[in-house]
Amino acid sequence: MIRLSTTILSITVWFASAAAQDATKLEEVQVTAGRAEQTTSDVPAGVSIVDTDALERQAPVIVADLLRGITGAFVQQTTPGQGIPIIRGLKGSEVLHLVDGMRLNNALFRNAPNQYLALVDPNIVSRLEVVRGPSPSLYGADAMGGVVQLVSALPEIGVIPVFLGRLAFDYASADAASLSHLTLAQSGEELAYALSTSYQDVGDRKAGNDTQLSNSAFTSRAARAAVRALPHEDHEWLFDMQYLHQPGTPRHDELVPGFGQTEPASAVFSFEPNERLHAHMRYQWRDVSDHIDELEMHAGFQRIRDDRRNRDRGSSMLRSERNESELLGFTMQLRSTPWSLHSLTYGIEAYFDEVRSSRTATDITTGADVAVLSRFPDGSTMNSRAAYVHDQLTAGHRLTLDVGARYSQVDVSLPAADRGTGAKVKVDDLTGNIGAVYDVGSAVKLVASVGRGFRAPNIFDLGTLGTRPGNRFNIANPNLSPEEVLTIDAGIKFAGTRFIGEALVWNADYRDKITSVLTGEMDTAGRVMVQAQNAASVDLWGLEAGGRLVSHNGQVEFSGVLNYTRGEESNGVTQPADRIPPLNGRIGLLIRNESRWWVEAFLRFATDQDRLSDRDLDDPRIDPAGTAGWVTANVATGWRINDSLGLQLRLNNMLDRRYREHGSGIDAPGRDLGVNIEARF
């Protein structure tokens, strides 16, 4: 592995030297890593970006599709309507997910695959940024594996008023998936707005070798309204409301026999419905005073509804449950340059989350209702407060330091509700990080960082009561402690005239991991009983490398990504960590003729993954012999017929390979022919 790391670093430096002769830089600007606009080469953390240009060449079914093939990310999908990224071996609540600076993570987030990222409409996303590794000072709790931020498209403000419309239709053959999307936007000098709506109808998936997969169809509908106001050149307001609703999304892996099973675990299992309502207000004040460059305040409300309907195989009891999180958030951030060598970012934030949960069971043979304990204690709350400061310090002609700290306080309250016992958990923690960027010259920079992140147990960890995948039943544990991780990164970044890229090696020491532990008991339905406990520590390390090389005229672009993660878990015995992605990556070639047409061909691949934990071996989503490696060949083209009409064609998995992304509960789509027609007016 050391030899592989050295080889990739050598290749990166060679490309850098070969590409350093042109006059125009391929700068990538991001806002997530430092909560401000910075080029990716100026931050010590690993940063992956899916920009507007890349988004326009894709046709995602859900947001997680946009993360496939980027540096440092691997996507797990249990059912086509859901999916999550795995960042540095961590997932779910171990990764912080943001939408326009506000938390998507709530008190119900599992530290495992979950469906909540899929409740953001991918058709309104203009940009996606991933910061790999903990961001303890600027983002705090949950930002252990990294931060995934979705940036929504906004109408233009401060420009001559123009009305714009966009109507798009998309069809993909592998899922018989159709999409209709409409956006109406009015730009303006002092006022601008955008309205959009999307409707999706996804059929049962056809995997490779013409294999039909049942119980994978779903629909969704979404709407969005955004208003920007610029009453003064230094003052801007944003009001944004987003909504997405999935009426019924089947849990595919529960409804078909998995590995080691002859029958499915459930006769009925549907997320019915799942939805997200998000209301967001942002205020920006620039040039506040001689000592404050910018003030930014956010207020947001998010309601996520996670309702379910399920019936165990062989049972007559149909359970219907309603689970809802209402999250209210406030943040205030300031930026200052009090001294010539310092750039300060500091602020406060507070989030208040309340969970409602209820469950009923009906005997389908008699119609009689039976009292059933709710999944979570009804009325549970999780509140957090934090204050942070971050300094970007110019320490010399070539050296820049990033230093930050955050104080966090988290209060979790679980009332007795319908289970006779409750709990109160209070956590306060001081986290921090330090990073360095050293400018070697010729657009090459060496970077290094160390950071300590933490995650307080949430309501899902403390109070879950109910069925879990793999014929398991979870019982509550009100005595959990926080998780923590210490991560070290080091590598090289290059942002030159024709080449931009990075290669980093990293190590994460993950302590007090909350994981499901067998209790040795079974419930009356024959499900194995498990409980969340601080039962493990994990040593994770890996390599992330990616870059783009552009021709002199800018019309040809070659890109490549390679990700490797390895993990060892200790919980009395040492074994491979669970759900660790295999070596994976992407190689692509893009040819474009200004704004009229483009052609892209790329390979996505992953090697075998046979380093499995005991939990992986018991998971019916994972082949106990290991997940086989795979390669897919894909091609797409787009043509701007005129200023008003555009056409895209794509052919994914051209060889109709049947494969499964490691840890997923469903095989990937087979040969998939797609067409997209877009009209602008």
Per-residue three-class SS string for 225-289: EEEEEEEECCEEEEEEEEEEEECCEECHHHHCCCCCCCCCCEEEEEEEEEEEEEEEEEEEEECCC
Residue 157 has a pLDDT of 97
pLDDT in tens, 504-530: 999 999 999 988 888 888 877 778 888
CATH class of 2-680: mainly beta
What backbone phi and psi angles, to 5 degrees, belong to 36?
A: -160, 160
Q: CB atoms < 10 A from the CB of 57, how many? A: 16
**Beta carbons of 384 and 351 less than 8 angstroms apart:** yes
Residue 22 has a pLDDT of 40
| Per-state percent for the chain, helix, strand, coil, to nearest 5 | 10, 55, 35
**Residue 633 and residue 649: Cα distance in Å, rounded?**
15
Closest CA to 375 of 325, 425, 303: 325
Residue 18 has a pLDDT of 41
First to last CA, the chain: 53
Three-state secondary-structure class, residue 455: strand
**Residue 462 and residue 603: Cα distance in Å, rounded?**
42
pLDDT in tens, 337-364: 988 899 999 999 999 999 999 999 999 9
Task: Name which residue leads in pLDDT, 446 or 423.
Answer: 446
Q: Where are the domains of the chain?
A: 2-680
Q: Where are the beta strands (DSSP E) in 442-555?
A: 444-455, 466-468, 472-475, 483-495, 499-522, 528-550
**Residue 163 and residue 192: Cα distance in Å, rounded?**
10
Q: At 40, which amino acid appears?
A: T
Here the tokens at position 78 are 């249990």
Residue 420 has a pLDDT of 77
What is the mean predicted confidence (pLDDT) over 378-395?
Answer: 96
Local structure of residue 121 (DSSP, 8 states): -
Residue 302 has a pLDDT of 98
Closest CA to 349 of 380, 379, 389: 389
Residue 292 has pLDDT above 90, yes or no: yes
b/e 360-396 (16+ beta carbons within 10 angstroms → b)? ebbeeeeeeeeebbbbbbbbbbbbbbbebbbbbbeee
Residue 466 has a pLDDT of 75
Identify the residue whose tokens are 């990764």: 95
472 forms beta bridges with: 468, 528
Here the tokens at position 113 are 């695959």
Residue 25 has a pLDDT of 54
